[in-house]
């Protein structure tokens, strides 16, 4: 009799757990999603602030329109890079990729590189790995002339927050850099982003 009661109790607890547990899991997931959304919102806001600043600085230069004069293109790039670096003299690594954001990125990159397409993603960045010729880049460094920009795995790009066209994510060795494509300037970076 006692044994039957014990079994019934156990079954009751188990069914209660089975009923409640998914709810807890859902809540935890929702909380995680909210935290992730909050971190990415911080990132997106900082990216937008950067682009606004870049556009303001660029407005003080003569507008770059398609031209036959290649010197104009090069001069514009150098002038813009100079102005941005000057305006961001105090910029540090982590200003845009904050600690929380960098951790989120690392997690996404880790899961991509260890996932089903990980081998292909590694193959893509290995093709033109700039780290063979560059030691390490820092915020406000100009990406060196004549060195190929590493192709960013497209399957990974689909998982990272979208960037405005002024910026792009590029790997240099194991670091993920945020590059101003017009000024060829390193805006921020996550060291050792690739596991």
Partner 1 sequence: MSSIRCATVVACVALAAISLSLSAQELALPLKPDSVRFAVIGDMGTGEKPQYDVAEQMISNRKKFPFEFVIALGDDLYGGSNPSDYESKFERPYKLLLDAGVNFYAVLGNHDSPNERFYKPFNMNGQKYYTYKKSNVRFFALDSNYMNRQQLTWLEKELQNSGSDWKICYFHHPLYSSAAFHGSSTELRLLLEPLFIKYGVQIVFAGHDHVYERVKPQNGIYYFTEGASGELRKGNLRKKDLTAAGYDQDRSFMLVEIAGDELYFQTISRTGLTVDSGVIPRVAKTAGSSSWPALRAGHVDLSCRTVANAIAF
Chain centroid to CA 117: 18
For partner 1, give the closer residue by CB, 14 or 74: 74
Give CA–CA dist 137/190, Å, rounded.
11
Shortest distance, position 135 Cβ to partner 1, whole Å: 20
For position 123 contacting partner 1 by CB under 8 A, the verdict is yes
Tokens coding 116: 């089903």
Angle at Cα 38 formed by Cα 175 and Cα 169, nearest 5°? 25
Phi, psi values for residue 177, rounded to 5°:
-110, 150
Give CA–CA dist 145/140, Å, rounded.
15
**Residues 174-193 close enough to bind partner 1 by CB under 8 A:** 181-182, 184
- Widest CA span in the chain: 96
Q: Is residue 124 within 8 Å of residue 109, measured between CB atoms?
A: no
For position 131 contacting partner 1 by CB under 8 A, the verdict is no
Shortest distance, position 111 Cβ to partner 1, whole Å: 15
Q: Judged by CB under 8 A, which of 149, 174, 191, 194 binds partner 1?
A: 149
For position 132 contacting partner 1 by CB under 8 A, the verdict is no
Q: Judged by CB under 8 A, which of 5, 59, 135, 158 binds partner 1?
A: 158
Of 20-28, 48-56, 96-104, 141-149, which segment contacts partner 1 by CB under 8 A? 141-149
Q: Judged by CB under 8 A, which of 92, 157, 192, 195 binds partner 1?
A: 157
Distances, alpha carbon 82 to alpha carbons 151, 183, 195, in Å: 26, 8, 33
**Residues 44-73 close enough to bind partner 1 by CB under 8 A:** 64-68, 70-71, 73
Give CA–CA dist 77/183, Å, rounded.
5
For position 110 contacting partner 1 by CB under 8 A, the verdict is no
For position 152 contacting partner 1 by CB under 8 A, the verdict is yes
3-state secondary structure of 169: strand
For binding to partner 1 (CB under 8 A), which residues are involved? 64-68, 70-71, 73-74, 76-77, 117, 120-121, 123-124, 127-128, 145-146, 148-155, 157-158, 162-163, 165, 168, 181-182, 184
């Amino acid at each position: 009799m006692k044994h039957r009661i014990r079994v019934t109790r156990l079954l009751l607890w188990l069914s209660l757990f089975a009923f409640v547990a998914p709810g807890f899991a859902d809540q935890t997931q929702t909380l995680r999603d909210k935290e992730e959304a909050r971190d990415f919102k911080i990132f997106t806001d900082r990216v937008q602030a950067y682009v606004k600043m870049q556009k303001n600085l660029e407005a003080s230069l003569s507008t770059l329109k398609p031209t036959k004069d290649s010197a104009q293109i090069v001069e514009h790039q150098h002038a813009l890079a100079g102005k941005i670096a000057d305006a961001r003299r105090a910029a540090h690594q982590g200003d845009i990729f904050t600690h929380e954001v960098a951790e989120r990125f690392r997690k996404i990159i880790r899961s991509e590189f260890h996932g089903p397409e990980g081998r292909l993603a590694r193959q893509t960045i290995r093709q033109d790995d700039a780290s063979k010729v560059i030691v390490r880049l820092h915020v406000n460094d100009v990406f060196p002339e004549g060195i190929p920009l590493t192709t960013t795995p497209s399957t990974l790009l689909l998982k990272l927050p979208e960037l405005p066209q002024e910026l792009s994510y590029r790997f240099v060795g194991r670091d993920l850099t945020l590059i101003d494509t017009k000024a060829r300037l390193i805006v921020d970076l996550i060291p050792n982003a690739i596991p």
